[in-house]
Amino acid sequence: MTYWEKERECMSRSDLEQLQLERLQSTLYRVTTHVPFYRKKFKEEGIDPDGFNSLADINKLPFTSKDDLRNNYPYGLFAVPLRDIVRVHASSGTTGTATVVGYTKNDLKTWSNMVARILTAAGVTNDDVVQIAFGYGMFTGGFGLHYGAERLGASVIPISSGNTKRQIQIMQDFRTTALVCTPSYALVLADTMDDLGINISSLSLKYGLFGGEPWSEEMRREIQTKLGIIATDNYGLSEVMGPGVAGECIERNGLHINEDHFLVEIINPDTLKPVAEGEVGEVVVTTLTKEGFPVIRYRTRDLARIIDEPCPCGRTLRRMTRIMGRTDDMLIIKGVNVYPMQIESILFDIEGTEPHYQIIVERQGRLDKAQVLVEVTESIFFDQMKKQRQLVEEIKRRLAAELGIGVDVKLVEEKSLERFEGKAKRVIDKRDLSGK
């Protein structure tokens, strides 16, 4: 078994917790001294950062939200003068002001190490040729993975996103062994290779590290088969650092959290209290080593649960499940909570459907109505109506059994839904939820 930083990745829980506490104390000192926003908030809530002697006290601290970041746009939450910031990233966000984050030189070192850890856990070594098909720019995906792969000593191909045919050409010519992108783009690459008649055995690909968006176990299976690789999941978010917060080892059964740098809690998004052990809830992250942009109890809106059993890989860093949904992408259809991921899992399992789908949500009167558009293979699309109807009925039946409510299903022609080079947009929400 190979580790990047064995002494940290395999630490005893008690040593790890001691380290977390010390780092939390210094982070609290840092934010109270340098960030007026936290100073004010702590004062209002009567929090004495010096009296912090146990990790369990974390739940006395206030949460930080995306709105707090927006209200302090662009540099209001930085904990060092701009002169000490060497990199700025921003998340564009689909709505509202962007959130801006900054990194010191040390932060970049830590970040690269975290990503190198995740690459190593996923099987990548300095012998690998790593093709990074994430966007480079304000998005943290491209640069984050890039610096980590260089730190590891791999040969990095910074191709960035898009231009699918060129990606494939480079993959062939440069003998890429590890592909890094969103899982949906990995499927686009696989489908395009199929169209071009490229046999995957002519490629050198061995590993795929995918992240940046949710994907199901069924989608992993599909990618692994189509590309002939070991596909692992990795998770992160720009507000906290970018990629490198957590990642799967080749066991592919949950993402090891880099707990010496991040304190992760799982809370009930309604009561804001910690969930019972092993229950699903919202992931809340406190950074423990960030200098430029520390965050305290950041509410990610992502849903997951902690897997507390030891991992056969030997790492003691606890795992979290894949992201199961977001508190804000939960659809309430006829009063029932539905997550797009549940729909995806079923579609991937049904013969004749393609792994491309879209969920359209509308509000009719006071009721939410969801329609699922599913791409089907050409032969089915042009097949007799009867067969199509049977397929629609089958999908509806499976969805109803899983979700407990009826959902509309429409079959669409292969390749008729939009493809994405970065994060896929699976849900089109036509509802006006502004409360007007």
Cα distance between residue 218 and residue 169, in whole Å? 27
> What is the DSSP annotation of 342-401?
HHHHHHHHSTTEEEEEEEEEEEETTEEEEEEEEEE-HHHHTS-HHHHHHHHHHHHHHHHH
Name which position in 134, 185, 298, 348 contacts ligand DLL (CB under 6 A).
134
Cα distance between residue 342 and residue 331, in whole Å? 11
For the bound state, the minimum distance from the C-beta of residue 132 to ligand DLL, rounded and expressed in Å, comes to 10
Region from 109-117, 138-146, 345-353, 413-421 binding ligand DLL, contact rule CB under 6 A: 138-146
What is the number of the residue whose Cβ is closest to ligand DLL?
211
The neighbouring-strand residues paired with 235 are 246
For the bound state, the minimum distance from the C-beta of residue 361 to ligand DLL, rounded and expressed in Å, comes to 18
Nearer of residues 91 and 104 to ligand DLL, judged by Cβ: 91
For the bound state, the minimum distance from the C-beta of residue 139 to ligand DLL, rounded and expressed in Å, comes to 6
Nearer of residues 42 and 78 to ligand DLL, judged by Cβ: 78
Q: Are 200 and 193 in contact (CB under 8 A)?
A: yes
From residue 65 to residue 84, the character string flagging contacts with ligand DLL as x (rule: CB under 6 A) and all else as - is --------------------
Residue type, 274: P
Contacts of 266 (CB under 8 A, 6+ apart): 274, 275, 279, 280, 281, 282, 283, 284, 304, 305, 306, 320
Name which of residues 277 to 336 contact ligand DLL (CB under 6 A).
300, 302, 322-323, 326
Q: Are 146 and 156 in contact (CB under 8 A)?
A: yes
Contacts of 365 (CB under 8 A, 6+ apart): none
Residue 141 binds ligand DLL (CB under 6 A): yes
Region from 104-112, 121-129, 134-142, 352-360 binding ligand DLL, contact rule CB under 6 A: 134-142
Name which position in 123, 135, 214, 294 contacts ligand DLL (CB under 6 A).
214
Name which position in 233, 291, 344, 375 contacts ligand DLL (CB under 6 A).
233
Q: Are 221 and 193 in contact (CB under 8 A)?
A: no
For the bound state, the minimum distance from the C-beta of residue 102 to ligand DLL, rounded and expressed in Å, comes to 14
Residue 236 binds ligand DLL (CB under 6 A): yes
Interface with ligand DLL (CB under 6 A), residue total: 22
Instruction: For residue 108, give both structure tokens.
Output: 């970049």
Cα distance between residue 264 and residue 20, in whole Å? 11
Name which position in 49, 211, 294, 352 contacts ligand DLL (CB under 6 A).
211
Nearer of residues 236 and 294 to ligand DLL, judged by Cβ: 236
Cα 84 from chain centroid (whole Å): 29
Name which of residues 392 to 411 contact ligand DLL (CB under 6 A).
none
Among candidates 193, 252, 184, which has minimal Cα distance to 223? 184
Nearer of residues 42 and 235 to ligand DLL, judged by Cβ: 235
Cα distance between residue 374 and residue 353, in whole Å? 7
Name which position in 27, 110, 131, 140 contacts ligand DLL (CB under 6 A).
140
Nearer of residues 148 and 352 to ligand DLL, judged by Cβ: 148
Name which position in 27, 64, 91, 358 contacts ligand DLL (CB under 6 A).
91
Name which position in 110, 167, 234, 287 contacts ligand DLL (CB under 6 A).
234
Residue 185 binds ligand DLL (CB under 6 A): no
Cα distance between residue 208 and residue 215, in whole Å? 14
Residue 148 binds ligand DLL (CB under 6 A): no
CA contacts within 13 A on the Cβ side of 412: 15
Name which position in 5, 150, 213, 362 contacts ligand DLL (CB under 6 A).
213
Cα distance between residue 7 and residue 162, in whole Å? 39
Name which position in 242, 254, 281, 292 contacts ligand DLL (CB under 6 A).
242
Cα distance between residue 46 and residue 64, in whole Å? 16
Instruction: For residue 366, give both structure tokens.
Output: 């006071």
Region from 23-31, 50-58, 137-145, 363-371 binding ligand DLL, contact rule CB under 6 A: 137-145
Nearer of residues 242 and 352 to ligand DLL, judged by Cβ: 242
Name which position in 112, 238, 258, 287 contacts ligand DLL (CB under 6 A).
238
Q: Which residues of 230-242 are buried (b: 16+ CB within 10 A; e: fewer)?
A: bbbbbbbbbbbbb
Supply angle C-alpha 391, 393, 397, rounded to 5.
120
For the bound state, the minimum distance from the C-beta of residue 247 to ligand DLL, rounded and expressed in Å, comes to 8
Site residues for ligand DLL per CB under 6 A: 91, 134, 139-141, 211-214, 233-238, 242-243, 300, 302, 322-323, 326
